Structure 1
Amino acid sequence: MANIPIDQLAHEITSAVREYTEDVAVAIDKKVDQVANKVLKEAQALAPKRTGEYAKTFVKTKEGGYGEHRRIIWNKKHYRRVHLLEFGHAKVNGGRVPAYPHLRPAYEKHAANLPDEIKEIIRNGG
């Protein structure tokens, strides 16, 4: 341990906390990206494949400012169709079209452990 003059103690504590915060933020951002990539690949794999175009147009978008690590998985070209395929829908002349769940199961499979993984990152300091 280094000898620190008392007038520099506040500066040293502040710089140590800042370094810890930056390390944790980088590690959390990396983990959120990894999970988002897994969800994206799983959603593409589970998506209905009549022609294959629907599955190919899923993308990952990064949102949020400092301290916010948010990724959104969405279908760039067929965004209006996602909820119809995910949950099914009524036909014009009666009856229902079956549901093809693909986005929610991918999210539940990969993102369910994310809060625990983030807590572990915070405990380990990045």
Structure 2
Amino acid sequence: MANIPIDRFADELTQAIREYTEDMERSINKKVDETARKVLKEAQSLAPKRTGEYAKTFTITKDDEYGVTRRIIWNKKHYRRVHLLEFGHAKVNGEGRVKERPHLRPAYDKYGAALPDELKRIIENGG
């Protein structure tokens, strides 16, 4: 490490912390995006496929705020149908129920559950 005059120490320390924070933010965003893509692919493969259109219309939306990185996986065209297929529903005439076909929750459980541990590892290793 180079010798730093005492009057520049605060500036150098601030710059080092800023660089570290930016590196961590990039690494975390990269891991969250990677995990979201895996969940999307898994949800599309597990989705019911009568015609295939339902599975194709899933998409990822970025919802980032200051200090929060969030990816939302949703169905752009058939968003009203997702919970009906995921959890099942009563039949139109009220005579029984339509069996559930889980596709989003299993995909999230498979990849999203490991995300906090992976982010912790990124932070511990410094990016």
TM-score tier (shorter): over 0.9
Q: CA deviation at 1:65?
A: 2.1
Q: Which residue of 2 aligns with 1:8?
A: 8
Deviates more, 1:66-75 or 1:104-113: 66-75
TM-score, normalized by length of structure 2? 0.97
Q: Distance in 1 between matches of 2:92 and 2:79?
A: 21
- Secondary structure at the aligned position of 2:113 is classed as coil
Q: How many residues align?
A: 126
Q: Which residue of 1 aligns with 2:119?
A: 118
The correspondence of residues 1-126 of structure 1 with structure 2, limited to 5 A, is: 1-93=1-93, 94-126=95-127
Q: CA deviation at 1:114?
A: 0.5
| One-letter amino acid of the counterpart of residue 126, structure 2 | G
Q: Distance in 1 between matches of 2:84 and 2:65?
A: 31
> Identity of aligned pairs, percent?
74
- What RMSD in Å do the two structures reach over aligned CA positions? 0.7
Q: CA deviation at 1:59?
A: 0.3
| One-letter amino acid of the counterpart of residue 79, structure 1 | Y
TM-score, normalized by length of structure 1? 0.97
| One-letter amino acid of the counterpart of residue 26, structure 1 | R
Q: CA deviation at 1:66?
A: 3.0
Q: Distance in 2 between matches of 1:44 and 1:92?
A: 26
Q: Distance in 2 between matches of 1:74 and 1:68?
A: 19
Q: Distance in 1 between matches of 2:44 and 2:67?
A: 29
Moved over 4 A (4+): none
Q: Distance in 1 between matches of 2:8 and 2:120?
A: 31
| One-letter amino acid of the counterpart of residue 60, structure 2 | K
| Structure 2 residue ranges without an equivalent (≥5) | none
